Structure 1
Amino acid sequence: MKYFFALCCLWCSSALAAKSKIVTALEAFPPLITADGKGLVIDLLEEIEAKSNYQFEVSIMTYARSKRELFSKRAQLIGLTPKQQETEEFYDFAQELDWEIPASVDLFVTDKAKIANYKSMYIGVPTGNADFFSELLNIPRTNFVEVTHLNQLTKMLSIGRIDGIIFERIAVTETIRQTGDNGIYYHQLAITPASLAVSNSPEGRILRNELDYYIRKVNTDSIFETYNHYLNLPTSGSVKSLLEITPP
């Protein structure tokens, strides 16, 4: 019996040792990815871990840094990316999974009258996102300022240092829930698919195919049920109204 127990322990240790580590660099994107390394996308990765021999070593960082990590091959998986809508240079070294989730790109302001003229506003975005939003929305790149954390952006908006924020609706709304900034309004500008990316290499293609295979085995509808609720809300209004009808 002792021999059998020792053999089982040895087998378990070998199985754990066989796990392939995937260095993963993610931008905070609550509730999909939180600053403390949790969230719905993390739940998805954990489900993949349970079904595969992969183990995700997750670090939270700016989107700009995550792209540098993938470019330099220090990371093997990054996200969330605006699927098939990144810059041409990005796809020289990166490729996205087939998996995607819709994201509402919204404008956040304290003065509703400014919404009509958002293309001439001084706009804050998280670091690494200005080039994408400039191209997506046809706004001059010089109109953007990049800031590391969303809570910094909401404070800058509240005190009038920027005219507006452009980013994904739920991430900004959840940040405002935590910071308690009042009197902010939102307006949907676009719906874009968000995804995860690997390197544009033979090894990256193998990893992409494997991850998409395991994602198809996961009940993603269950994981992202609360997130999808946000996408069916009014396209514009007060953030306060969103907070009142969405769970904390």
Structure 2
Amino acid sequence: MNQPAAPVPYGTPDTPRLAVRGEARLEVDPETARLGITVAARGSDRRAALADLTRRNKDVLDLVTSYGDAIETVETGAFTLTPELTAKGRHERVRAYHGRVHLTVTIADFTVLGELTTRLGDAELTTVNGPRWALRPDSPVHREARQEAVRQAVRRAREYAEAVGASLVALVELADLEAEGAAMSPAASVTHRSRSGYGGAEQAPALDLEPERQTVYAHVNARFTMTRPEL
């Protein structure tokens, strides 16, 4: 019994194959904002420096969590306590201890972002970096971009086929090359050190932070078969 002939990878004159690229680019509002927070302490005594760092870290956490559901996540990153040695002398001696704790806060409600950023920046020996705007990994925008890229591929293929008097017959391959949101980029940065905590009587006015639009890209490669062209 004769086996059917294997399909020709690049088509035949009677059944040509058509390869196109579909692309989509959507600009949307961000869904989250992330703040990077570094709490620091310095002292000549190791235990005193650690106690100051623990207190300031707790104050920052209390402030952040006081915003309730507006805060999506609070994550503690690296903790360091480093001795600073004297530069001169026959014997190494510890001059001071430097402590740091790094936190990452994700905010879902942008109405509190300006106030929270300002109050964090007003906290003692606290550095704030951000916000970094982003979409959630499961945002429906990613699906919309992928589907639009496929629609663009079909539309482009149909236009090419019509240009040679043919029509599309079937889709034989669809390859997802890339579909991801733009990398989070910083829109503002606040770095402020003060001897007074964030609970002082004189608070700095809240920052006016405008969300940065996010760009989502999707690309696909598609191959179709089409009817015989009329050349």
Which one has a larger percent helix, Structure 1 or Structure 2? 1
Fold conserved (TM > 0.5)?
no
Query: Higher relative contact order by CA 8 Å / sep ≥ 6: 1 or 2?
Result: 2
Select the structure of larger CA radius of gyration: 2
Which one has a larger percent strand, Structure 1 or Structure 2? 2
Calculate the TM-score normalised by the size of structure 1. Answer: 0.24
Calculate the TM-score normalised by the size of structure 2. Answer: 0.26
